Every structure is written in C-alpha cells, then in structure tokens.
Chains A and B, each alone.
Chain A
Amino acid sequence: MSAENPALEHYIAGAPAGNATVDHDAHDEHGDRPIYLAHHFDDMEQQRECVTLGMWSFLATEIMMFGGLFFVYTLYRHFHFAAYKAGSHHLDWKMGTLNTFVLLASSLTMALAVHAAQVREKKKMINFLLATMALGVAFLVIKGFEWTKDWNDGLIPALQWHPQVPAGVDPNNMMMFFIIYFSMTGLHAIHMIIGLAIVGWMTYLGTKDFFTEGNDQPIELIGLYWHFVDIVWVFLFPLLYLIGGITLGAAAHGGGH
C-alpha cells in the first residue's frame, strides 16, 4: 500500500527496534527515526510541540477542577467566616508551614533535575529526581501526622467528629470547613501520589539513559506537573491555615482567638 514511500513502510513496521540509533538530530523522514519518536509524528519538533501544548492543556483542566473547589471554598468562607476562622484555628499551622517549605524545596530540586537533563548530566539528574521524591514523601508523611492529630482531636466529619465549637458558631458550618479542608488537601495529596509514581518511573527510565541523550522533554513535563501541584499547595496553605491570622507561641487549637 505504500510501496512508493519507504518512510511509511517504516512506520507501519512499528516502532524502530531497540538497536536504533538514539541521536536526536536524526529526524529526517528518510533517515533513522529516533527511538522515542512516535509513529504518527513527522519529526521530533512536531512531537515536542504536541506534548508541550498537551501538558499545558492538561494543566488548564486541572486549574478548572481545583477552581471549582476554590469557588466552593470562597463562597462558603464569605457566608460562614466565623466558622471558617474557628475551624482554621484547629489546624496546626506549624506543620503546614513546614510542609510548605518541604514542597518548595522539592520544586527547586525538580527544576535542577530538569536542567540536568537538558545538559545531559545523567547522574545529577537521577540524584535530583531522587531528592524530589524524598521531599515529596516527606510532605506526605508530615501530612499523615497532621491527619492523625486531626483524628485524635475529633476533626474528621462523619468518622470522628467531636470538636470544640466556640459559641456563636454553627457546628454544621464548621463541619463544612473541615469537609472542604479534607477535600482540598486530599485531592492535593492524590496529585502528589500520582506525581511521585511518575517521578519514580522517570527515575528508573533515567538510569536507562532515556532522557539524557537529547530526549529531555518528559522530564520537563513532569517538572511542569510537579510545580503545578506545588503552586496549588501555595494557595491552599494560607487559605486553610491562616484564616484570621495566627497566634505565635499560643496553642494552635482552642479557638479562643
């Protein structure tokens, strides 16, 4: 069917075999196709542009998804500010602050990993990816401690709910704050876990010379995702933990502020 076009024959045969050259400059249709160039793209440039636009579009859907949640948060915060403030004072802002720094540090190591991939320094890239994963896991561990504390304080709606509710605050509304808190941080944590799995997979592929021979784009894309998840937390932290200001040195809960 494609006798007149040898390049097409090449596509039909499927992806080039494992011994194909891994030279990113060889994207001529009639030359060797790089191993990581998918069968339906013309050349590396097209693939690169497609996946970059793809990642940004995906992040747009993520913004819309979190956006819905932020809208719910904002509206109810406007309606029930006292309950939000009381709920926020039950949260441990110190752990939240620590987590913010942990996550910002992981963004830095991720950025460095992207750079290392671009300049084709395999060992550096692997190390920075591992550091990113370690910081990501640290974030989740701290979050786990925090949620355990919430459980012991009776702050989990429907499952373990016996908080101290200050006078003048509707318990239903405070419960709503905690549902929104757990929905937001839970959705964020799910994104962290997915991100960790992908970074882990990328690290494994990285040890197989997958990204440091001119194919650094996948690292750049997971970097974008990681920074996005980081930015979501940067918004979540003040919105959830710092409502009505914090009292340095005082006990985090008590709600008497």
Chain B
Amino acid sequence: MSSVSYEPRADVGDGFHPDMQGEKVSMEGRAESEIPINYLTADNSLKSWLFTIDHKRIAVLYLISITLFFFLGGAAASVVRLNLMTPEGNLIRAETYNKMFTAHGVIMVFFFLIPSIPATLGNFLIPMMIGARDLAFPKINLLSWYLYIIGGIITLFALIMGCVDTGWTFYAPYSSIYSNGWVATTAVGIFIAGFSSILTGFNFIITVHKMRAPGLTWFRLPLFVWSMYATSLIQVLGTPVLAITLLLLAVERIFQVGIFSPQLGGDPVLFQHLFWFYSHPAVYIMILPGMAVISEIITCFSRKPVFGYRFVAFSSIAIAVLSFLLWGHHMFVAGQSTYASLMFSLLSFSVAIPSAIKVFNWTSTLYKGSIRLNTPMLYALGFIGLFAIGGLTGLYLAALATDVHLSDTYFVIAHFHYIMVGAAVMAYLGGLHFWWPKITGRMYPEGWGRTAAIVLFVGFNLTFFPQFIIGYHGMPRRYHSYAPEYQIYNIFSTAGATIMALGYLMPFLYLFWSLKHGAVASENPWRATGLEWQTPSPPPTLNFDRIPIVTKGPYAYSAEDDEILDAQMDIEAARLKLENAAATVAATNEGSTTAHGANGTTNGTTNGTSDGKENPRVG
C-alpha cells in the first residue's frame, strides 16, 4: 500500500499534479496486441456483455440502465416543476399532475436511488476492495440485473399505458378503489425489481463475510465496505416485507377484495405500517451508500487517515439497526396510537446520533488535512453541508408537535430531497468521478468536473431551500395548484431546477466524452490506498494478477509521502519539458524534409504504451 513506490509517468494522468495530466490517446487503429487486456477489452461481443458474470461488467450494465431511469424520472420532475410556475397550474391537468409526480417518485426511488450506488459502485468495488476475484455468486449477480430490467420494463409499460396516480407510497384506499391507473402492474414491476435489490444485498453480505483477502480483517476493511454491508442488511431484511405488501396490494386491486381498503373491512393504516417497515429503512438504503462513498473521498482528499475509524464503521451498523425501529414517524397523523408515536419519535431522534458521528468524524478528518479540492472532494463537501441541513430538518419532523404542523407540506419534500438528492445523488456523482479512472481507464476533464459540481450545488439549494419556507407556511404537497402568495418561491424552485438539470447534463456529456478523449488514467491517479487502486486501470477480468496480502489498516495516507511524490512529479515534468524542447529544436533543424521523423523519441523511455502513436507535440 505504500504510495512512495509510485513512479511518475508521462503517458498517464495523475489526479493532482497540474503538469502531469497524461496524454489523450485514442485506442482506435491500434494493433490488438497493443491494447492492454482488461475487463472491458477482454471480449467485446454483445453476448459477452449480456451473459457476463463479471461483477465489473454487471456494474457497467447497471450504470447504463440507472442513468436511463434517472433521466426519465428527471423528465417527470421537470413537468411537475414547470407546472408549479403558476399558482393555477396551467401546464397540465390535475390528473396528469398526479401521474407525473407518481412517475417521478416511483422511478427515482425504486429504479434509480435504491440501485444507484450499491449496484454500480458497490458491485464494481466491493470485490476489488476486499481482494476477491468476484462476488460470491456471480450468476445471481447477473440475475439481479435481469430482474431489475424486467421489473423496470413492466413498470415503464404501466406508466406508458396509463400511469399511476397514487403517489409512490400506494396508500390504500387511493390504490385499492380510487385509482384510475395501472396500480397492480406497477406493483408487480416493483415487486420484481425488489428481488434484484435483495439479491445484490445478499451477494454483498456473503462476499464481505467469506471472500476477504488474506490478512484483511474486519477492522482493516475500507469504510465503504462497512457501509455497504450495513446497506445490504437492510436490503435483505426489509425488501421481502415490501414484496409481500405489494403482492397483497395487487391481489386486493385485481380481485377487488378487502385487505387494506376500509370499505371492504380492511385497515389502511396496516398498509402504511407494512409499507414503511420497508420504505423507511429504504431511505437508509439510499443514504448509507452515499456515506460509504464520502468516507473514502474525504480521507483521500484530506491526505489523512479517517478520524475515528471504528466509530464511523459502527455508526453504519447502528443506522441499519435503528432504521428498522422508526417507521412509525411517517404515521404521526395517520391515527396511530399516541404512545406508539411517542416511542417512534424518540427512536427517530436517536438515529441522529450515528448520523452526527459520521458528520463530525468527516469534519475532524478534514481538520489539519492537506485538502485537495478536486471534483470528488467538491461533491463530498457539498454532501456534508446538504446532509447536515437535511438531517437537522429531519429532527423537526421527528418531533411530534412540529410534525403535526409540517406533515404533508413542502417542508417534508425539501427535507427528504436534501437527503436523497442533495446528499445521495451528490455522493453518487462524487463516487462516479472518484472511481471513473478505475472503471473506464480515462480521466474526466477536471475543470468541467469542478464547474458541474458547483453548478449542481447552487441549483440544488435554489430549488429546495425555498420549499422549506413555503412548507413551513403551509403549502401542501401533491397539489397541482396553490395559493398565489407562494408563487415567488415556486419560481425560485423552478429556476433552480433548471440550473440543476444543467448540472446533471454536464457530467453526463463530459463523462461520455472522456471515454474516447479523456487522458489515459494511471493505475492510481488519486494516490489512494485501497486495494482497488493496486491493480491496472481498468482492471483485468479477475481483478488481480496476484491476490494481495493485507498487512495494515485501510487509510495509510501521509502528507509527507505526498510531498515527495509531488517533488518527483515536478522533476519528471521538468525533464519532459526539456525533452520536448530538444525534440522541437531537432525537428526545426531537420527542416521540412522529414517532418514526422521525430515520432516516438520524446518520451519513449518511460512510456510503454504510447510507442508508435502520433505525438501531438511534434511537427
């Protein structure tokens, strides 16, 4: 893990040194033997992708599919936001509005947020972080992607055929009697996608327990793994309850018999209990992986070991356990017993403790660190701020008395968007940038990255902060029109949403661009310590040529080592400049007779992969 053994090279990008940004190399037109064999290039047929059992390829499949769902959900949100520009809601009819916010919720929660970090970054990184060749059950991993796709197609089919107008929570009797939409079909789609989530979590649990490299004890695991493990516990234990609830909902809806519908003798509050027994822990399925990513980024870009490793690790487990005990805070005004509400309120407050431990420990990690403000770090800092706001406003909602006032208002909307979008999506994008060189072998453009992170932060706050205010003043959620005095805030929100959309579009475009035109990444551009950085970028199909043996904890960062490395980089950069200048002089002296004669002489000595390519500095 020693970062001192790092050798500066001209042809690959370093994330930190401004003069060592690597070279932009196109793989096209190169002999096959020159392209290093990795998981991406091993076999390029469509069949090899669709039937792959490589966890890294499955992660890429997930990445592509959740991106698609993200933009679909975003489109629905845009319609909602545009409609709310005017108090009368002139853009769409009320029924259409109901369908749009339901589509937004269903797609974003079940098809983007829940699989987002676990199924992409988790799938890609967990085996690499623990020094394994794959997850414990590679075929089940592939099955989980197919279930996700099948569930997604069924849900999209329902949304296209006529949509659902119940809200993503499917409360009875909206869902049992009053809905005009395709409730049962949607429920079946989510039911199937739920199994994909169960299988992912299940695979992670077994893998973390049984597949760790020699010497990798539990307390040498990266915090990413701890947090993903906690997430997996929730996925495995919570999702089956949602599955059976949705199944009962579909039975009730299809046969028009009474299970949850009060008109037929059912109990609608029972549905809420069962639904939130999963869906409250599901909130932590969305945020714990975000915390996983942030723990890695903060320590890497502070160049310091994480503060209070064990506390951060155990706070993840504490959050997972507590998450199952506080679902009732969604039902303070639903007619639940006051004593139950009291307990749920108390337990809801208690989950603030492990959450705060994490925030304080990240902040302490920053203290006296040598902070580098690269794109992932900007996302991580944004995460801490937004998560703190989202978390603290959560306490307003955990308190019984204030919740009665704030229930079903835009305050709630703003609160959970600060957690689910502000925090979770920021972490997702931060993680994607951080591990992009490892996943694709290319660096993303740093300038664009920083710009997008800042645009996103500004756009997000402009969108959702005004909603705290109108929510506090009493604007209810889920209505397609509102009282005129709230219009100015809604215009702020819609304007912010436009900026936010730009902030999402930018990474989409430049990350796509970087696949071909980005600089080739080194094996460890962030000089990070995890095992995943000790293997080539992109990694070979079985991750490691040799399974590593672990002898120390995960975060052996040292600012002193960094100084040495930076100095080495300076020397190397200066040497390269000198060589280039010499080559230019030589080329000028030779005149126009051999315009391209100097190819390959500039940095051929330190550079194994760029031989024979056209050198842009010459001629």
Contacts and interface: CB of A to CB of B under 8 A. Distances in A.
Contact of B258 (A60, A172, A183): A172
A85 B458 CA distance: 62
Given A49-B210, A173-B265, A4 B545 contact: yes
Interface stretch (A62-70, A142-150, A225-233): A62-70
Contacts of A79: 267
B209 A53 contact: yes
Contact of B136 (A1, A12, A54, A60): A54
B245 A68 contact: yes
A207 interface: no
B138 A40 contact: yes
Interface string A168-191: 001011011001100100000000
A125 B240 CA distance: 33
B264 interface: yes
Contacts of B198: 61
Interface string A56-80: 0110111011111101100110011
Contacts of A157: 255, 257
B205 A57 contact: yes
Given A38-B138, A68-B244, A179-B257, 5 more contacts: A42-B547, A46-B210, A72-B274, A175-B265, A176-B266
Interface of B: 36-37, 132-138, 198, 202, 205-206, 209-211, 236-241, 243-245, 247-248, 251-252, 255-259, 264-267, 270, 274, 277, 540-542, 545-547
Contact of B210 (A53, A76, A179): A53
A223 to B, nearest CB: 19
B140 to A, nearest CB: 8
A179 B247 CA distance: 12
A158 B264 CA distance: 12
Given A11-B133, A40-B133, A175-B258, A54 B265 contact: no
Nearest to A49: B210
B134 A40 contact: yes
Interface residues of A, number: 44
B236 A61 contact: yes
Interface in A64-111: 64-69, 71-72, 75-76, 79-80
B240 A50 contact: no
Contacts, number: 120
A184 to B, nearest CB: 10
Contacts of B547: 42
Given A46-B210, A65-B240, A72-B274, A39 B133 contact: yes
A42 B267 CA distance: 52
Given A49-B210, A54-B202, A158-B257, A64 B241 contact: yes
A72 B257 contact: no
Contacts of A80: 265
A8 B255 contact: no
9 contacts: A2-B542, A11-B133, A12-B541, A40-B134, A50-B206, A54-B202, A68-B240, A72-B270, A76-B267
Contacts of B205: 53, 57
Contact of B132 (A40, A61, A68, A175): A40
Interface in A184-226: none
A46 B211 contact: yes
Contacts of A172: 258, 264-265
Contact of A57 (B206, B264, B266, B274): B206
B25 to A, nearest CB: 20
A5 interface: yes
A44 to B, nearest CB: 13
A50 B274 contact: no
Contacts of B244: 65-66, 68-69
A180 B266 CA distance: 12
A92 B541 CA distance: 58
Interface of A: 1-2, 4-5, 8, 11-12, 38-40, 42, 46, 49-50, 53-54, 57-58, 60-62, 64-69, 71-72, 75-76, 79-80, 157-159, 170, 172-173, 175-176, 179-180, 183
A12 B241 contact: no
A2 B136 CA distance: 22
Contacts of A71: 274
B136 A50 contact: yes
B199 to A, nearest CB: 9
Find the residue from B257, B259, B264 having the highest chain A CB count within 10 A: B257
A64 B257 contact: no
B133 A183 contact: no
A179 B259 contact: yes
B259 A176 contact: yes
Contact of B251 (A50, A54, A66, A183): A183
A13 to B, nearest CB: 11
Nearest to A174: B265
B240 A62 contact: yes
Contacts of A179: 251-252, 255, 257-259
Contacts of B264: 172, 175-176
A200 B267 CA distance: 42
A62 to B, nearest CB: 7
A68 B241 contact: yes
A68 B135 CA distance: 29
B265 A1 contact: no
Contacts of B258: 172, 175-176, 179
Given A4-B546, A68-B241, A68-B274, A176 B265 contact: yes
B251 A65 contact: no
A57 B202 contact: yes
B202 A8 contact: no
A1 B535 CA distance: 11
A61 B237 contact: yes
Contact of B211 (A1, A50, A68, A72): A50
Q: Which 3 A-B pairs have CB atoms at the shortest separation, nearest pair first?
A: A172-B265, A65-B240, A158-B255
Nearest to A61: B240
B257 A175 contact: yes
B545 A5 contact: yes
Contacts of A64: 237-238, 240-241
Contacts of A72: 248, 259, 270, 274
Contacts of A40: 132-135, 138, 542
Contact of A11 (B209, B210, B259, B542): B542
A80 B267 CA distance: 12
Nearest to B232: A57
Given A12-B541, A172-B264, A65 B241 contact: yes
Contacts of A50: 136-137, 206, 210-211
A70 B275 CA distance: 15
A75 B268 CA distance: 13
Contacts of B251: 179, 183
A216 to B, nearest CB: 19
Nearest to B38: A1
A183 B542 contact: no
Nearest to B255: A158
A67 B241 contact: yes
A54 B245 contact: no
A5 to B, nearest CB: 6
Contacts of A67: 240-241
Contacts of A66: 244
Find the residue from B37, B133, B277 having the highest chain A CB count within 10 A: B133
